[in-house]
Structure 1
């Protein structure tokens, strides 16, 4: 019995040793597994349903509508990651024109692999038509549920005039009225625009539930009129309105909501529209002004509020960085339309300090403010 038991124990030990040996993976097997894992990692995740790029939609886009992936995704109704993968896969190729490639972003766009590169000629920049605009906006007003009560966009006015053609050409006969930019925007032109266009438009578009005590803020350029201008004072207190003119603080560009972000927002829309003349340019700027949402304008005013706070922290100086306050997150927190960041109260209590040889201004009781920019 003891002998039999000893043999049984020995067999069990040998079986365990054999199982252990059988579980050992050879070197060749390890290398094969490593190669398979490496191949899978290079291939990456394979999507079951791949997004297809409609080449006809891409060809229908003008080159002004596809300088960046961000602009293309709006027209193609795709995500930025999807278009980025198409560029990486070679279905779209970035192209940079050889004519002054680093000067402007207009020389950069995306093409299909079989698209021919467009012909681009270099024209003299001395004869490019330039048109000046006068824009006036104020803080938008929203209801408790986020509905727009007043969008804050008054209007945008071009400094142009109608001139009859002196000579005939292949484009129009002699005497045709053409839109030409005003060559010199002086104080008389500014006064006429303010009195004949801006103030009547404000009165027509102003909401009934907003104070009629209005401050028009302008920059410090020489063509702007003074606050005590006689012709302005004659129409400043009419029809129940009371208008005041103030100038933005010197050396403080962030105190102007138009330069702070409104003009950039309009430019981003207008860049994607083709203009072959002054009339086309005026139409593109006007349509871009109308397409800009009240929410975008309100975001610029929120940035203005943050800049005013930073200016107070540095005692009136401009040695600060524009803060980022996650404006897109505010509606989800329920504070975007309700608090208005107390901008009006901030402006009524704001006292500018004298710092770094900057002479600031003192603003009192500013219940409503319209920003006007040339």
Structure 2
């Protein structure tokens, strides 16, 4: 005799069905006790098992006996299991910031586990924030910053709305150290892959080279084609020295590239006159009319704006190139510090380096790879930062604003200049007057 396999499928009841079953049981009860055969009758009526009906009845009786409202929730996924740990995040505001720097410390203070705290952060209950130290500003610093930003505002002939200058006549220069490697680097490895071994004799003496970079705002024609990349150049502070002794890599007397670790005014003047100025004259758009300003910070190695040797070299071939200083303690007013250096460094760090020549080549290659549109975007970011500086009356307690430059560029609406509200300008002028 053949036997047919019968698969019994458990029917999951909804909350509404469970309450309907309970109402039917109440009608079949007397003084809180069910009549004989009531469970089988109700189970047949709702096409569920006797055990399901019995469980619903006992669940309701338990709640009534303990003075609880009858809640017949189903034991489905997300309902059964461990209850969610409740965390009062209002307590976080009373915890000093210095004790909120890692998950372990915060979890201990809130009396929850690290895993619970980690899950809440992933859910968005707490927002991770990386905080960078900003320069301390004196009253004079704030005033100079405010005056500097206001001096960059003008009104166009076609519109009376105040906007920042297009900055096409400004070249930003600055120095930055680039390292052969970083003490700590992040990699993404597949399971089972060997972890890389990186060694050096001392982390305090990782080979580094200082570079001087010079950039201007790129220019595009009416069709969006690049006319001028804005990248004047990036110049390593290095010199060639003959090797004093022979080694397995070279014989004595072979010229080697050595970094200049102490950059003085004389070195800066030499690099400006011999490297930066010739590149400006070679690359600058011939259609430009008027003076060209080289903006630098107040670092000690930078030469004075009235340096005679520089002025003589800067006036050659019909050019009018002048130096000026940005306000003190204001790296946010230089496009190189604002984002361009960081972009170059991210590209340079992707290269495997072993010598100073390879480091120099990697940095210069990364500089050339940078898209001119990215450089243009940093100039727009600079203008938005100037607007924020005016809002906070010369301070640096602001967040770099985001205007969606990539989206605006795709839509063909990327502005050439950022506007500034008239009322904001008037408030800043009143603040300076007071």
TM-score norm. by structure 2 comes to: 0.55
Selected match of 1:263 from 338, 341, 346: 341
Selected match of 2:379 from 277, 289, 301: 301
Does residue 189 in structure 1 map to residue 211 in structure 2? no
CA RMSD of aligned residues (A): 3.1
Distance 1:335 1:126 in 2: 48
Selected match of 2:416 from 322, 329, 340: 340
Distance 2:250 2:375 in 1: 40
Return the index of the structure with the highest Cα Rg. Answer: 2
Q: How does 1:200-219 map to 2 (within 5 A)?
A: 200-219=278-297
Q: How does 1:177-256 map to 2 (within 5 A)?
A: 177-256=255-334
From the superposition, tell whether residues 353 and 199 of structure 1 become closer, same or farther in structure 2 (CA, over 3 Å).
farther
User: How far apart are 1:111 and its partner, in Å?
Assistant: 2.0
Distance 1:298 1:307 in 2: 14
Structure 1 equivalent of residue 351 of structure 2: 273
After TM superposition, the structure 1 stretch with the greater mean CA deviation from structure 2, 254-263 or 230-239, is: 230-239
Q: Give the number of equivalent residue pairs.
A: 262
Equivalent pair of 1:315/1:354 in contact (CA under 8 Å): no
Selected match of 1:168 from 240, 243, 246: 246
Task: Give the secondary-structure state (helix, strand or coil) at the position aligned to 1:246.
Answer: strand
Task: Give the secondary-structure state (helix, strand or coil) at the position aligned to 2:323.
Answer: strand
Distance 2:204 2:240 in 1: 22
List gaps (5 residues or longer) in structure 1.
1-19, 40-102, 344-348, 357-374
Does residue 24 in structure 1 map to residue 46 in structure 2? yes
TM-score norm. by structure 1 comes to: 0.63
User: How far apart are 1:313 and its partner, in Å?
Assistant: 1.9
Q: How does 1:19-168 map to 2 (within 5 A)?
A: 24-27=46-49, 106-121=184-199, 123-168=201-246
**What does the per-residue CA deviation read over 1:84-112, in whole Å, with 9 as the maximum and x for residues that have no partner?**
xxxxxxxxxxxxxxxxxxx9684432222
Distance 2:214 2:185 in 1: 32
Distance 2:430 2:255 in 1: 52
Structure 2 equivalent of residue 313 of structure 1: 391
From the superposition, tell whether residues 354 and 293 of structure 1 become closer, same or farther in structure 2 (CA, over 3 Å).
farther
Equivalent pair of 1:215/1:244 in contact (CA under 8 Å): yes
Task: Give the secondary-structure state (helix, strand or coil) at the position aligned to 2:246.
Answer: coil
From the superposition, tell whether residues 122 and 160 of structure 1 become closer, same or farther in structure 2 (CA, over 3 Å).
closer
Distance 1:180 1:355 in 2: 51
Task: Give the secondary-structure state (helix, strand or coil) at the position aligned to 1:169.
Answer: coil
From the superposition, tell whether residues 157 and 121 of structure 1 become closer, same or farther in structure 2 (CA, over 3 Å).
closer
Distance 1:168 1:330 in 2: 59
